[in-house]
């Protein structure tokens, strides 16, 4: 049975979604996840291949994620029904010493999986085979770069989260002193929308991004700041200093659990020369603090959305990128047999 959320998601299902960090799925036991409202169990079969299947035993709906993995199979904790990596029930202990020869219809739905860039990805298309690769998380293992993941649970939906991750005006209030402080400066901005992305370029080479600047950009080199949204659920924020010898990249891919709950996998990548040695200790607690501030404000907005809905927004030019992101996601969610929103370029200013 397909979840209501997955059924209502239109073309948003036809993508790969991060379901776990690779290190979270080991050979010791299964892992339960929820993606687009569907309960999924992840486990490693023979050859350490990751398997994703519906997290329910066909017998009495007990969760297989509470069971055991053995001999390349997964067993139900309730009555021991056993399933192979193709979702087929191969043993029913109550049917005899060796179990019964199972009927072919005793098979659970499985989902295509891939491991890439330290993540386990699950394809959520309904009746469709993967026709694209998962999003390539930048600099996950690039020479000269340091990188680490953070996994964060938010009480808000994907559209609002990707907007938050690319939103500059909120930083001077939510992250005051930590990431940026109010300067009352005009920020000339260019927004470019394609049929699958929204790119924002900020013409502010002398911008300051808080006290981490002493680590990221100690010489005060001109900075190029860009934010980019990739359909349906990923953002990439780049800070490049000077001649690109130093850079700091924040990439977040969002996995919807329900309409108002999302798991976010954030890859922090940095290229700082010898300062990489310091950054590996300093950056994790700093970035966790900044993300926690977003967790809190997204929960505040989420409570408002659950009461008022999202139809009473009032936008300004600073929200241009939000409007374009919403247009792309709404088009995909509708599943309509129409062309996506047309590409366009807009230039506008806002103040921070």
Q: Where in the chain is the domain with CATH 2.102.10.10?
A: 4-123
Query: What 3-state class would DSSP assign to 202?
Result: strand
pLDDT for res 180: 62
Q: What is the mean pLDDT of the chain?
A: 93
% of the chain with per-residue pLDDT over 70: 96
Q: What is the mean pLDDT of residues 289-297?
A: 96
Name which of 104-108, 230-234, 257-261 the model is least confident about: 104-108
pLDDT band at 183 (very low <50, low <70, confident <90, very high): low
Most confident of 51-55, 316-320, 333-337: 51-55
Q: What is the mean pLDDT of residues 326-336?
A: 93
Cβ atoms of 191 and 345 closer than 8 Å: yes
pLDDT for res 220: 87
pLDDT for res 182: 63
Nearest-angstrom CA–CA distance, 19 and 36: 11
Tokens for 315, please give them.
């936008």
For the sheet with 246-258, list strands across it.
Answer: 146-154, 261-271, 246-258, 234-241, 223-230, 197-202, 186-193, 344-351
Nearest-angstrom CA–CA distance, 1 and 58: 12
Q: Does 181 have pLDDT greater than 90?
A: no
Model pTM greater than 0.85? yes
Q: Where in the chain is the domain with CATH 3.90.380.10?
A: 146-351
Query: What 3-state class would DSSP assign to 286?
Result: helix
Cβ atoms of 135 and 116 closer than 8 Å: no
pLDDT for res 245: 85
Tell me the CATH number of domain 4-123, given options 3.40.50.300, 3.40.50.261, 2.102.10.10, 3.30.420.40. Answer: 2.102.10.10
Q: What is the mean pLDDT of residues 88-92?
A: 93
CATH superfamily of 146-351: Naphthalene 1,2-dioxygenase Alpha Subunit; Chain A, domain 1 (3.90.380.10)
């Amino acid at each position: 049975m397909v979840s209501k959320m997955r059924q209502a998601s239109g073309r948003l299902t036809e993508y790969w979604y991060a379901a776990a960090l690779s290190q979270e799925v080991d050979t010791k036991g299964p892992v339960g996840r929820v993606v687009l409202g569907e309960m999924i169990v992840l486990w490693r079969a023979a050859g350490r291949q990751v398997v994703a299947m519906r997290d329910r035993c066909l017998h009495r709906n007990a969760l297989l994620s509470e069971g055991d993995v053995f001999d390349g199979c997964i067993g139900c904790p309730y009555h021991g029904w056993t399933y192979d990596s193709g979702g087929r029930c191969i043993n029913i202990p109550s049917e005899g010493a060796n179990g019964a020869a199972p009927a072919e219809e005793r098979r659970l739905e499985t989902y295509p999986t891939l491991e890439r860039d330290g993540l386990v990805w699950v394809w959520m298309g309904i009746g469709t085979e993967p026709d694209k690769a998962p999003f390539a998380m930048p600099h996950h293992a690039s020479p000269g770069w340091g990188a680490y993941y953070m996994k964060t649970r938010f009480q808000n939906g994907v559209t609002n989260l990707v907007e938050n991750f690319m939103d500059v005006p909120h930083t001077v209030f939510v992250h005051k002193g930590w990431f940026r402080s109010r300067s009352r400066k005009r920020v000339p901005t260019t927004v470019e929308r394609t049929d699958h992305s929204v790119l924002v370029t900020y013409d502010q080479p002398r911008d300051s991004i808080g006290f981490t600047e002493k680590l990221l950009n100690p010489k005060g080199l001109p900075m190029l700041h860009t934010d980019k949204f990739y359909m349906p659920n990923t953002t990439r924020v780049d800070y490049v200093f000077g001649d690109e010898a130093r850079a700091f990249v924040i990439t977040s891919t969002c996995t919807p659990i329900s309409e108002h709950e999302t798991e976010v996998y954030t890859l922090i990548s940095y290229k700082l020369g010898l300062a990489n040695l310091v950054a590996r200790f300093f950056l994790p607690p700093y970035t966790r603090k900044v993300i926690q501030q977003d967790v809190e404000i997204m929960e505040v907005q989420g409570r408002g959305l659950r009461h008022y809905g999202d139809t009473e927004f009032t936008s300004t030019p600073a929200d241009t990128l939000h409007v374009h992101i919403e247009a792309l996601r709404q088009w995909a969610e509708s599943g309509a047999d129409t062309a996506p929103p047309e590409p366009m370029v807009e230039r506008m200013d806002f103040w921070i």
